[in-house]
Structure 1
C-alpha cells in the first residue's frame, strides 16, 4: 500500500477539481477509513479510474460513433459541442463541418504539422473564455483533463480523431457578426485520413448554405480563408474553402478569367456556370485563397490542367494582379 493521502492532498497530487473528486467518490472510489478520518491510496485510486476510462482507450481513430456510444464511453451528456465529464475527467469536443454556426478550420504548415482552429462554446452573442467549457478547455492541461475530438463531415456521423491538446494561446476572431474564441489544437495521432467521398460530401453540403449569404458575406469569409492544405485518403484529397470558390465566381461576373468569354450556360440556380481553378495548383502547394483562385469555363479549366501552358498561367496571374490592385 502506498502512502495514504487526505482529500486535499489527493486533489493536489492528481490535479483534479473538487467537483471531480466528489463525482469519483459517488461512483465508488476506494476509500481507506481510519479513526481519524478518510484517506486515499493514490495507486488504488489511479487503478480504479483506469478501469473507468478503459473504454476510451479502446476507441478506434477514424471510426464513426453514434451519440449514444460516445455518451456511454465518456460518461458525458448527449448534447452540446463541448461535453465535460467529471467521472472520466475528460472534455469531449465536436467539430461540426456541416453547418455554418462555427467556422472551424485546419491548417497544415510547411513541416506537415496539422492544427485545428476550434471555435469555442456559445452559439449566440460574444463568447467568454472564462465561462463554461471554454474555461475548462483553456485550463485543461493544468487540471489534467484529457481532451478528445470528434469531427462531423456528414450530419449525425461523428468520426473519432483521438486526443488533442492546446498548441498555442487561444485568440479571438469575428464570426457571424460576433466575437468568438479560437483554440488551436494539435493531434496526438497524426495518421488520420479523411475518405475522399466524405470530403466531397462536406463540400456539397456547404454549397447548399451559399444561397443564404450575400455576396459581401461570401467575400468577407473568402478573404479570411486559411491555407487548409491536404489530407491523405485512398487518393489525395485537397480541402477547398467554399467561400473562396463562390467569391471568385462572383468576381468574374459571368466571364471566364482566361478567355474572357461568357460562361457557356447557367446552372440550375440560374447562375453563370464557371469553375474555380487554383493558378498555383493545390497539388503543388498552392494556397486556397482568393489571391490564387480564378473562375474558368469548363473547356478552359480542362485545358489548363491538360496542357499547363506558361502563356495561360501568365494570363491568369496578370488577372489576379488586376483583382488585387482593385481589392476584388
Structure 2
C-alpha cells in the first residue's frame, strides 16, 4: 500500500483512500486503515511527537484546546486493534508532502500536562506506537528478557483469556510493548487451538501433521493487509494453506474475508457465551 521512506502528496493519499484532509488523525470511511500525520509545527499547539530510546513513537492525541478526550480520532486510534484497523504513520517533509514512516501498532497510552494553543495547561493523551515489524521479527525482543512459558500447552479457556487481555495501564511503555508481543503470540496459539485441527474456512481436516505432531494450519488476520502483529481474536482465523492463499490472492478475496469474518464472529459469540 505504502512504501517506507517514500514521499507522498497528502491530497493524493486522500483522493485514493478518503479521510479528513486536515489534522493529525484521519479516519477514512469504509476503509480498514487510520492515517496518522506528524510534524514539527504541532509544537505550537502543545503536540510533541517523537521516538524514545526504546523504539516507541510517542504520538500526541488530537484537540488543540482544553483537556484531550477519547472521542473521534483519539478513540479510533486507541481502539484500532479491536476494530481491525491498520495504522499508517507519516511525517511532513515540506508543505503538502509527507514521508511514510511505516505501519504501527498502538500498545498503550499515557497522560501528561502541557500547554494548549491558548497557553493554558491541560491534560494531554500520548499514544505509544510501535512499528509492526517489531511483532513479526523473532529477534526483536531483548535477549535478556525472560520469555513467558509457551502457550501451546494451555487450555482453550486459558488461551482465550490471554488473547483478550489488555496491557496493564500501570506498566511502563516498554512493558506494555512487551506485553503486546506476548499477547500476539497467545492470539495465534488460541486461533490454532480453537480450530481443533479443522480449517475454519473450508471445514476440512488440516492437510498434514507437523514434526511437532500438530495439525498444520496457518493463522490469517482477516482485516489486515499482512499476517503480522497483534490483533483481536475476532479478526484471527486458522485456515489451511489453500484457503489462506484464497484470502489473499483470489478474485473474490474481499467477499471471502467477509465470509471468514462472519464465521469467526459466530464462533467467538458461542465461546463467550460458554464462559459466562
- For this structure pair, what is the TM-score category when the shorter chain's length is used for normalisation? 0.3 to 0.5
Highest RCO, 1 vs 2 (Cα 8 Å, sep ≥ 6): 2
TM-score (norm 1): 0.37
If you compute each CA radius of gyration, which structure gives the higher value, 1 or 2? 1
TM-score (norm 2): 0.43
